[in-house]
Amino acid sequence: MSPLVQYAILFGLMLGTVGLVLSLYALARSIGRTRTEPAKDVPATAGSLSRDPVWIRYHARYYGYALLFLVFDMEMAYMYPWAVVYKQEGLVALLDMGVFLAILFLGLLYGWSQGALRRQ
């Protein structure tokens, strides 16, 4: 199969997906009814009104936790496909994953040295 045919198939799938999403959205808008209620826009927690303000600022220290979570989340996202093709690729795949994990480990060491893992 030529690359042009593969791109045509990919474009057709993307176009079909966008068409399906838009048609489902249009169907939901046409069938579903919306009611305006005054209590819909009031922030509530477990059925009662919230005491605290809704728009609060989070401390900047949570930014480091979020970045560390993303690092290890991406690690898992890359390790699953790697585990599937590991037998086919052999030592090259093992070395590639070793380099990838070493870079992530350096990031973890840097975060640890900056105090990102310390409880506050």
Q: Give tens-digit pLDDT for 79-94.
A: 888 888 888 888 888 8
For 34-54, the pLDDT digits (tens) are 777 766 666 666 666 666 666
User: 26 falls in which pLDDT band (50, 70, 90)?
Assistant: very high
Q: pLDDT digits over 105-120, tens only?
A: 888 888 788 777 777 6
Q: Which residue's entry shows tokens 């059925």? A: 47
Q: Three-class SS string for the chain?
A: CCHHHHHHHHHHHHHHHHHHHHHHHHHHHHHCCCCCCHHHHCCEECCEECCCCCCCCCCCCHHHHHHHHHHHHHHHHHHHHHHHHHHHHCHHHHHHHHHHHHHHHHHHHHHHHCCCCCCC
pLDDT value of position 63: 75
Note the pLDDT of residue 68.
Answer: 79
**What is the distance between the alpha carbons of residues 17 and 74, in angstroms, rounded to a whole number?**
26
Burial of 56-69, coded b for 16+ CB within 10 Å and e otherwise, reads: eeeeeeeeeeeebe
Q: What is the pLDDT of residue 102?
A: 92
Query: In the predicted model, is pLDDT for residue 72 greater than 90?
Result: no
Where in the chain are the domains? 1-34, 55-120
pTM of the model: 0.45
